[in-house]
Amino acid sequence: MPNCPECTAREKKKIITKYEEETAEEERGRDDLFKLFDEIEIPMKIDPARKNNFICKRCGLYATREQVSDIRYKLNQRERTRDDKHDDYLEWWSKSKKEKAEN
């Protein structure tokens, strides 16, 4: 069964918040987060009346398999855009630090 994309996204946000609270900035790693993400299990239930439809018992999302992957894709996309911005910032930050050190 597919995981509910909405609940998974919410769960990820919770994991990130907790991780950032508990882990010092220099010890954080993306792989650690991905490992935690892998443990998320919020499987949807199949609708017995319409076999290609899934329902989430937690948030009530009702969608076909295609819609589920579509929602997941869109949510990931949003996530990635935020990450990229963050990386740009980090790059700028470490560059300016380096420049300061050189001057």
CB 73, min distance to Zn ion, A: 16
Q: At how many degrees (to 10) do helices 5-22 and 30-38 cross?
A: 140
In the complex, what is the shortest distance from the CB of residue 79 to Zn ion, in angstroms, rounded to a whole number?
17
Of 7 and 68, CB closest to Zn ion: 7
63 binds Zn ion (CB under 5 A): no
How far lies 84's CA from each of 8, 35, 43, 49, 56, in Å? Answer: 21, 20, 29, 42, 30
Binding residues for Zn ion, how many (CB under 5 A)?
7
Give whichever of 40 and 59 is closer to Zn ion, judged by the CB atom.
59
Q: Are 54 and 1 in contact (CB under 8 A)?
A: yes
Using CB under 5 A, pick the residue from 13, 58, 78, 86 that binds Zn ion.
Answer: 58
5-24 binders of Zn ion (CB under 5 A): 6-7
Of 63, 47, 48, 80, nearest to 4 by C-alpha is 63
Instruction: Tell me the residue length of the chain.
Output: 103
Shortest reach from residue 25's CB to Zn ion, in Å: 31
Binding site for Zn ion (CB under 5 A): 4, 6-7, 56, 58-59, 61
